[in-house]
Amino acid sequence: AQSVTQLGSHVSVSEGALVLLRCNYSSSVPPYLFWYVQYPNQGLQLLLKYTSAATLVKGINDFEAEFKKSETSFHLTKPSAHMSDAAEYFCAVSEGGNTPLVFGKGTRLSVIA
């Protein structure tokens, strides 16, 4: 069975500071990994995905994540936080293809002016 653990239910950063959201996964097969963002009263928007190609994945809005198999991690980073980045972020894992996503509990990012 697959699972995802997101460390920290709430992360607060200053505007312009580095954003680091942590995600660790468990999977018995090579995983496909995703980060989604959810703004209030909206659905989930895909930020980036890892599908067994390059281990450093770049996504939208200057977000990126690095797949580290030895650490079973897929942490999300952004060099400089903007106020508009304040949202809920979800890490998810799947077995690829059309298999369903297994999500973490989410991390709420607050950006302080």
Partner 1 sequence: EAGVAQSPRYKIIEKRQSVAFWCNPISGHATLYWYQQILGQGPKLLIQFQNNGVVDDSQLPKDRFSAERLKGVDSTLKIQPAKLEDSAVYLCASGRANEQYFGPGTRLTVT
Q: Residue 53 in contact with residue 67, Cβ under 8 Å? A: no
Cβ of residue 13: shortest distance to partner 1, in angstroms? Answer: 21
Among 58, 68, 55, 63, residue whose Cα is nearest residue 87: 63
Shorter beta-carbon distance to partner 1: residue 14 or 26: 26
Give contact residues for partner 1 (rule: CB under 8 A): 4, 9, 32, 36, 41-46, 49, 51, 90, 92, 94, 96-98, 100-106
Cβ of residue 3: shortest distance to partner 1, in angstroms? Answer: 11
Shorter beta-carbon distance to partner 1: residue 100 or 113: 100
Shorter beta-carbon distance to partner 1: residue 78 or 89: 89
Distance from the Cα of residue 96 to its chain's centroid = 17
Kindly give, in sequence order, each residue whose CB lies less than 8 Å from that of residue 59, ignoring residues fewer than 6 positions away: 35, 46, 47, 48, 49, 65
